Amino acid sequence: MALFSKGKEVFGCPMDGEVRPLSETPDRAFADGLLGDGVVIFPSGDKVFAPSAAKVNFTFPTRHAVGLETKSGYEYLIHVGINTNQLKGEGFHIYVKPGDYVNKGQLLLEFDQKLLKEKNLSEATPIVFANVENDNIEVLKAGRVKANEDLMVVKK
């Protein structure tokens, strides 16, 4: 189980890629932390996995983003790409729906990296927490990461 002490939870990396500070996200709303604090991953693969055991709170009709909530109440968003909502779901396949419970490491969605490049859309994937301050997020890995490796420790 992801919990390892009072109020702290370890979150895995949702995809293969390169982890960078959220400020390096090409979208200003994410980069400025307006949508929450976290990190951005520039993916090297096309699969997105659950960083923790959680309930799926919502998915976007365009299938490019998933909102999750852990048993301990951490709410977070995985948003694949920047302006990918313009694709209206093309190139995305989602495997979960609101109300589903997922296990850490479970496949959430897949996306077509080639299509994003063809459409000149950034693959940058912010992972942001809606109810956690930035100083309560400890990033365990930077640079190259593999899916499901421990990525962050979050505390309230």
Q: Which residues are catalytic?
A: 79
Strand residue runs (E) in the chain? 3-5, 8-12, 17-21, 37-43, 47-49, 54-59, 65-69, 75-79, 92-94, 101-102, 107-111, 125-129, 137-139, 143-145, 150-155
DSSP 19: E
